[in-house]
Amino acid sequence: MSKIDISLSNLNELFPENFSQEQIAKGKTVFLKELSRSTHKFYGGKMMSMPKAGVYGFNWFNVWYTPGVSSVSTSIRDNNDVSFELSNRGNLVAVVSDSTRVLGDGDCTPPGGLGVMEGKAYLMKYLGGVDAVALCVDSYNDKGEHDPDKIIDFVKMLQPSFGAVNLEDISQPNCYKVLDTLREECYIPVWHDDAQGTGSVTLAGLINALRIVEKDIDKVKIVLYGAGASNTTIARLILQAGGDPEKLILFDSKGSLHKDRRDIYADPRFYRKQGLCDKTNPGKITGIENAMKDADVLISLSKPGPETVKQGWIRLMGNKPIVFACANPVPEIYPYAAKEAGAYIVATGRGDFPNQVNNSLGFPGILKGSLIVRARKVTDEMAIKAAYSMANFAEKKGISPDYIMPTMDETEMFANEAADVATEAIKNGVARIEYDWQTIYDQTLKDIKEARAILDLLMENDFVKKPDTKLLEDALKKAIDTVK
């Protein structure tokens, strides 16, 4: 068995040379899952609370708490907006989920989403310099049903403590009502990362993929496989960015969306899908193979698993086809298989393949920019601005079929994105305060570097301990034994 580098810099090299590409792809998934479970147990989760103010003597407790802190309370009482300055609220996000659609695992019970929500908090801090708290809530009502109104009420009640809310892993159709209600009725930004976040990063990847193949967004035929919160929002943003609704075809589990889908119109909770039935696929094309003929782009966010998207579908596509297989944790088709079928550009949601189209490239910068200007909401214009910010950052570095998106280690991208989003918030009239672009960029970069320096210091002093190598070796052994 290969010796494992703690950096996990090249997962492919961990597996025996005689392993096929399929075995390596499956093995990496098993390895990462096994290692994740064991290291989460080792650390007891990923996040903790730490003071950000110093203790220089015993009487400082009287400053940070009673009697001194009384002046903070009365100042905020007289002007609630001062809470953004006198507490951590101005840099604090609530990550809220009822855990009804966690990654590809479905309903995991309310506490089942904690690993993912802590992960969001981890990435916000490391990539965006933003503090966040995981809040998994029980949305069951007295009838044993998941009630979107319970999430709506919960978020409204927590507003005084946070500068923004990140919704995550809420199943449809409840996710539509939750987001749309809270966006309009809350006085802080409420962002649904599975919808707006995925929409923004996917649009960014599409912009650059089309630049590479020299096609215009208003001319291409796009098939979206899956019609949940992610793909319905992706479709909406593509249309706002100039896509032609007549060349857009969406599929859900029952077939293509079009004006004759009476089952969708019969349920008012699916109003987002109804709107897309009205606008797209006027030819009422049915059958995925019919839709894929001469298609330029396939965007799949559906059932995880390498056989969900068939190679035969890709072979039906037009010149230099673009394939986004972004289900997590396993893409609908592995990149090597898509390339074998003729795909020119392939993207997934995972960082161990080229072209990671993942929300982690969006929400840290988008929420940071929103927080800095104390935005009241994240508009669709802000999400589209973030998409072009990501795409343009990568284009300046030099895009190629295997590099259509920035990567998570490109720190300046997040600061650039935050500044672009914040200035768009000002332009949209949803910002409470205004700064110039450079000030926002500099503040974001400073906060990101500070967050990373603190973690580095904790690691260097063994307050954050290095995982036992045996955990890595055991996970790799399990992966190899599972797929060989």
Paired strand residues for 106:
none
Q: DSSP assignment of 26-91, as one string?
A: HHHHHHHHHHHHHHHHHHTSS-----SS---STTHHHHHSTTTTHHHHHHHHH-GGGHHHHSGGGG
- What token pair was written down for 325? 């297989």
Tell me if 416 sits within 8 A of 393, measured CB to CB: yes
292 class by beta-carbon count within 10 Å (0-12 exposed, 13-18 middle, 19+ buried): buried
Which residues contact residue 234 at a Cβ distance below 8 angstroms, ignoring those fewer than 6 apart?
198, 199, 202, 203, 224, 299, 301
Q: Is 176 annotated as catalytic?
A: no
The count of other CB atoms within 10 Å of the CB of residue 6 is 9
Q: Which of 26, 28, 120, 385 is catalytic?
A: 120
Q: Is 65 annotated as catalytic?
A: yes
What's the rounded Cα separation, in Å, for the pair 57 and 177?
A: 50
Q: Which of 65, 219, 254, 477 is catalytic?
A: 65
H or E stretch at 179: helix 174-185
Task: Fill in the DSSP letter of residue 266.
Answer: T
Q: How many residues does the chain have?
A: 484
Task: Fill in the DSSP letter of residue 465.
Answer: P
SS3 134: strand
Q: Which residues are catalytic?
A: 65, 120
